[in-house]
Amino acid sequence: IVSTPLGSTAYSYNATGSVVSIDCPVLTITPLAANRTCPIKSLMLPLDTVINVEVLEPLKRKVLVVSDGQDQGDISRAEIRLSQKKARLAFTGGQREGFPLRFINKCKV
């Protein structure tokens, strides 16, 4: 799973990945079904990192890409980078400032 800090609280977290503060300028890579001997739960990289993914045996293994819940189709290789497109977000009731506290309360950390 490749995610931004905002995405780290969803799929990445549920795959035992790290939760990243929304103010941290990083991309997070979280492996799915990682080998128990792998000590890395998540890898954090600078936001300007370009991530290249290649399926080792594409004829044997189909790999489906899903982006924000939308199927993008089967791939044999992909290049992942942060989009330069802007999005508007609405925060109500001071949610942005209270994110760490809400997360701690929700997860009973």
pLDDT tens readout for residues 27-54: 999 888 766 667 778 889 999 999 998 9
Provide the whole-model pTM: 0.69
Amino acid 50: pLDDT = 95
Average pLDDT over residues 80-95: 73
**100-108 — which CB contacts under 8 Å span 24+ positions?**
100/21, 103/9, 103/19
- pLDDT at residue 70 greater than cutoff 60: yes
In CATH, the architecture of 2-83+92-107 is Sandwich (2.60)
Domain residue ranges in the chain: 2-83+92-107
Amino acid 98: pLDDT = 64
- pLDDT at residue 96 greater than cutoff 60: no
- pLDDT at residue 103 greater than cutoff 70: no
